[in-house]
């Protein structure tokens, strides 16, 4: 599996996804997930296409996108690194890890490193609460992440290796 996970914006691909989902009951969330899964974010152009297909206004679609933390309207870096900041991880030093991650990457939450490699995001609980602090990169979750392990994780991402299971 070496194909890139995301593709660049293409209205034809988006339209195919929309057609697949639009007649499901409560289609909007699964549809937005599918768009973001394909393009890594939900481009402005997609909002209009979705609104037309679902017979809703662009404002309604935008309202839903902006309500949910998971959906993004700007292209992220090559990797999204999510640091858990919930209580169980706090009890094991997550606050230190958060501060370290920000200073080491030189970004705040919701920002992307200058080399466009990493977007840093907060996350509230990954369900790995006995072995924190926890970090998620793509669909992989990492346990016991201290500052040293965070360095190793980031180093691995720098080599631009695609995550292969």
Partner 1 sequence: MTFCIHVPSDTTAKALGADRLTKLLAATANERKVDLSIKRNGTRALYWLEPLIEVETKQGRFGFGPVKEADIDSLFDAEFWRGDVVHPLALGLVEDIPYLKQQQRLTFARAGVIDPLSLADYQAKEGYRGLKNALAMDAQPLVDEIKASGLRGRGGAAFPTGIKWQTVLDAPAEQKYVVCNADEGDSGTFADRLVMECDPFMLIEGMTIAGLAVGATQGYIYLRSEYPLAFKTLHDAIAIAYENNLLGAGILGSDKHFDLEVRLGAGAYICGEETSLLESLEGKRGLVRAKPPLPAIVGLFGQPTVVNNVLSLAAVPFILDKGAKAYADYGMGRSLGTLPFQLAGNVKRGGLVELAFGPTLRELMFDFGGGTRNGRPLKAVQVGGPLGAYLPESQWDIPLDYEAFAKEGAVLGHGGVVMFDDSVDMSEQARFSMEFCVAESCGKCTPCRIGSTRGVEVIDRIRSGENVDGNMSLLSDLCETMVDGSLCAMGGMTPFPVQSAMKHFKDDFTKRATSTTNTEEI
Residue set of the binding site? 84, 89, 125, 129
Query: Closest separation between CB of residue 115 and partner 1, Å?
Result: 26
Whole-Å CA distances, 52 to 19, 44, 63: 11, 13, 15
- What is the distance between the alpha carbons of residues 125 and 100, in angstroms, rounded to a whole number? 19
- Counting contacts by CB under 8 A, is residue 128 touching partner 1? yes
- Counting contacts by CB under 8 A, is residue 146 touching partner 1? no
Query: Closest separation between CB of residue 68 and partner 1, Å?
Result: 4
In 1-159, alpha helices (H): 11-21, 28-39, 44-54, 58-67, 87-90, 94-105, 147-158
- Counting contacts by CB under 8 A, is residue 124 touching partner 1? yes
Interaction residues for partner 1, span 93-122 (CB under 8 A)? none
Residue 162 is given by DSSP the state P
Give the binding-site size for partner 1 (rule: CB under 8 A): 42
Single residue of 89, 120, 153, 157 touching partner 1 by CB under 8 A? 89
């Amino acid at each position: 599996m070496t194909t890139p996970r995301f593709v660049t914006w293409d209205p034809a691909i988006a339209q195919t996804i929309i057609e697949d989902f639009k007649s499901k009951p409560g289609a909007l969330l699964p549809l937005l997930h599918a768009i973001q899964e394909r393009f890594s974010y939900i481009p402005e152009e997609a909002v209009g296409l979705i609104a037309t297909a679902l017979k809703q206004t662009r404002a309604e679609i935008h309202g839903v996108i902006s309500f949910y933390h998971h959906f993004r309207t700007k292209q992220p870096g090559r990797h999204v690194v999510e640091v858990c900041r919930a209580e169980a991880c706090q009890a094991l030093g997550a606050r230190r890890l958060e501060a370290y991650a920000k200073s080491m990457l030189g970004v705040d939450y919701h920002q992307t490193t200058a080399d466009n490699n990493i977007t840093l995001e907060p996350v509230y609980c990954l369900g790995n609460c006995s072995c924190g602090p926890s970090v998620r990169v793509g669909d992989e979750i990492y346990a016991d992440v201290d500052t040293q392990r965070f360095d190793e994780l980031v180093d691995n991402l720098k080599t631009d290796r695609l995550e292969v299971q």
